[in-house]
A and B are shown apart, each in its own frame.
Chain A
Amino acid sequence: MNFLNLFKVAFRAISSNKFRSFLSMLGIIIGVAAVIIMMAIGQGSKESVRKNISQMGTNVIMIRPGADMRGGVRQDPSSMQTLKQADYEAILKDKKFVTYVSPEVSSSGQAIYGSNNTTASIYGESLDYFDIKQWVVQSGDAFTEEDIKKNAKVCVIGKTIVDELFPDGTDPVGKTIRFKSIPFRVVGVLKSKGYNSWGMDQDNVIIAPYTTVMKRILAQTYFSSINCSAITEELTDEAISELTDILRETHKLKGEADDDFTIRSQQEMMETMSSTMDTITIILVVAAAFSLLVAGIGIMNIMLVSVTERTKEIGLRMSVGARGIDISNQFLIESILISITGGILGVFVGWLGTLACGVVGLPTSIPMWSIFVSFLVCTLIGVGFGYFPARKAANMDPIEAIRYE
């Protein structure tokens, strides 16, 4: 029998048992929808994390004091004080693959202007920091090298600080605010960056010369970290080894001695995050895929019922000249039709589900290939689980089949 006719016969068989066919499709619909939604959430979260990290600059390199903490071993507090002014100067002097360098110290506390106050973090940085983190000074100016040299009590503030301390709309530039009772003159206002995807307000910052924060607020001689940027994203690895060499030299680490600092690139962080997200996605998708397996067994069950029910019809078809292959094709196409129709509906339901997830705020993005894979899987399920019932039908003895009551 030709394909079109086989298709018609299968279609008629399915539509003459609409409810039953729908029930066996339901498994496929739920399975495919679950797989698509899981993939969409996985992919969406991954993209949002990536976007977030790359917003911070993909060529950013962070140096932290202390050995690599990824092993989870607790460290002596003194080992957290290894980054000093000498390191900063050595990097400035010898850098080739690094463009910008900024030491960082930070502190949290209350900022006050007049009768308004807010909790904020102050970051002590060098001028390079604005380039590393791509901050733009919207009004006024950044502080100067002169200010850094003189431990000047000047700062640049983020939009949230402006909103909190200057709610009446006065221009903050030139005004003096107090942070932990120390007066700082506002020299510039940063262009807003908004929230990052972890829900952190990036504009709730005060940036001041690192010398000022170190000496006037913290009274310490070490940095909490040093931020750098590689010349390009591709040269990150070279930049990291260059920085390692410089720091080992200034820290006088010889031979086998472990680093007393940790260098991590934004890229590396992004990869770690991505692979974590991938693992989670795979677990979710595998769980969803099991429901497809169960759905396939459901289809096999219904096809076996269908074959038994139509034993007489099979006998008749054989007696008028249907070959085994004609009969098995008929049932295979029926099961493929059920599973692919289920697949199409499943993609649709999955798409609706994804939209619903988007509405409640989950980051989602349906990878196109997941739709393609769903169809492939549905066809395979149709063929795989339809094969056994179809063989059973094709191997029937026509004489017995036609006598079957």
Chain B
Amino acid sequence: MSAPTERKVVIELRDVRRDFQVGEEVVHALRGVSFKIYEGEFVTIQGTSGSGKSTLLNQLGCLDTPTSGEFFLDGTPVRTMSKSARAKLRNRKIGFVFQNYNLLPKTTAVENVELPLMYNSKYNATQRREAAVKALQAVGLGDRLEHKSNQMSGGQMQRVAIARALVNDPAVILADEATGNLDTRTSFEMLVLFQKLHAEGRTIIFVTHNPEIAQYSSRNIFLRDGKVREDTQNPHILSAADALAQLPINQDD
């Protein structure tokens, strides 16, 4: 992290604005956001409710397009892309982790993780399964491959969701309140996992309400009223594994 300029830029925003028309009024959810995110960064985005975090993440995930400004993902300009081109870009370059897991109901862990590869014709059935099994092993669910989504705990479901975000080997993993529905202990388990992925060199953008979580990432961005208020590197990244070890064991689930 000493010389970030030498590293590859994964995301570049230039004065990105996003307006929503609500009846007569125009809501300015993003009012000119600019930043670069480099390969291998673990970025937390914080801000009060309504500050535009989710809107920003939707831009980064190519689910939405800016009203104005430019957005480059892995060097590709996204704003002018067609809907189906963006779908393909999401498929190849993005991994999403949602607050409420969003697994397919009554479907096994492996099949859930395979889902993004279903929309990638480069993978055949064997390769799909292989990649899914590998991703599940990486999140510590190598022994729960055939468990159905409704037979798993919240923490396990979120692990499956993280494995699904990993399976296409994305340029960036986007998480919106990924620990929002989990208890403290399980949240820390997730953080351990994210830190592990970070250590492996993955780029992670993590939206959170919880300032504590920011201590475990490498960079913190604060939003207020659709603008970047603060953008700081974190020189003292705490270890989530240590924090987890310090937690009292006898917690109710």
B-contacting residues of A (Cβ < 8 Å)?
1-2, 5, 16, 312-313, 315-326, 398-399, 402
- Whether the Cβ atoms of A320 and B106 lie closer than 8 Å is no
Total count of chain B residues near the partner, CB < 8 A: 25
Cβ-neighbour of B116 out of A321, A323, A399 (below 8 A): A321
Contact with A along B108-125 (1 / 0, CB 8 A): 000000011011110000
Minimal Cβ-Cβ distance residue in B for A321: B91
**Nearest Cβ distance between residue A277 and chain B, in whole angstroms?**
53
Tell me whether B52 is interfacial, beta carbon within 8 Å.
no
How far does the alpha carbon of A116 sit from the alpha carbon of B209 in the complex, in Å?
A: 112
Task: Count contacts between A and B, CB distance < 8 Å.
Answer: 54
Given A316, A321, A399, which contacts B120 in the complex, CB threshold below 8 Å?
A321
A-B pairs with lowest CB-CB distance, top 6: A321-B91, A320-B116, A323-B84, A323-B87, A321-B119, A321-B90
14 cross-chain CB contacts under 8 A: A1-B118, A316-B102, A316-B115, A317-B115, A319-B90, A320-B90, A320-B96, A320-B115, A321-B119, A321-B168, A322-B87, A324-B83, A324-B87, A399-B63
A312 proximity list for chain B (CB < 8 A): 102
Residue among A5, A319, A323 having the largest count of chain B Cβ atoms under 10 Å: A319
- Contact between A319 and B96, CB atoms less than 8 A apart: yes
Residues 43-67 (chain B) with a chain A CB within 8 angstroms: 58, 61, 63-64
- Chain A nearest CB from B194 CB (Å) reads 19
Extra 9 A-B pairs, beta carbons < 8 Å, given A321-B88, A321-B168, A324-B84? A5-B118, A312-B102, A319-B63, A319-B90, A320-B119, A321-B116, A322-B87, A323-B83, A399-B63
Q: Is the CB of B84 within 8 A of A320?
A: no
Q: Using Cβ atoms and an 8 Å threshold, which residues of chain B touch A2?
A: 121
With contacts A1-B119, A2-B121, A325-B84 taken as known, whether A320 is within 8 angstroms of B98 at the C-beta atoms is no
Give B residues with C-beta under 8 Å from A: 58, 61, 63-64, 83-84, 87-88, 90-92, 96, 98, 102, 104-106, 115-116, 118-121, 164, 168
B102 and A321: CB pair below 8 A? Answer: no
Q: Tell me, rounded to whole Å, the shortest Cβ–Cβ distance linking A395 to chain B.
A: 10
* B168 surroundings in chain A (CB, below 8 A): 321
List, in ascending order, chain B residues with CB within 8 A of A322's CB: 87, 119
Q: Are A326 and B63 in contact (CB under 8 A)?
A: no
Residues of chain B contacted by A316 (CB below 8 angstroms): 102, 104, 115
A319:B61 contact, CB within 8 angstroms: yes
- Closest-CB distance, A326 to chain B (whole angstroms): 6
Complex CA–CA separation, A402 to B58 (angstroms) = 12
Q: Which residue of A lies closest to B98 (CB)?
A: A402
Using Cβ atoms and an 8 Å threshold, which residues of chain B touch A1?
Answer: 118-119
Question: How many angstroms between the C-alpha atoms of A321 and B85 in the bound complex?
Answer: 9
Please give me the residue from chain A that is nearest to B92 by CB atom.
Answer: A321
The interface residues of chain B lying within 8 Å CB-to-CB of A398 are 63
Q: Would A402 and B102 count as touching, CB distance under 8 A? A: yes
State the CA gap A1–B92 with chains docked (Å): 14
Partner among A16, A318, A323 whose Cβ is within 8 Å of the Cβ of B106: A16
Q: State A316–B98 Cα separation when bound (angstroms).
A: 10
Which chain B residue lies CB-closest to A317?
A: B115
Alpha-carbon distance A319/B119, docked complex (angstroms): 11
Cα(A234)–Cα(B118), bound, Å: 66
Chain B nearest Cβ from A15, distance in angstroms: 11
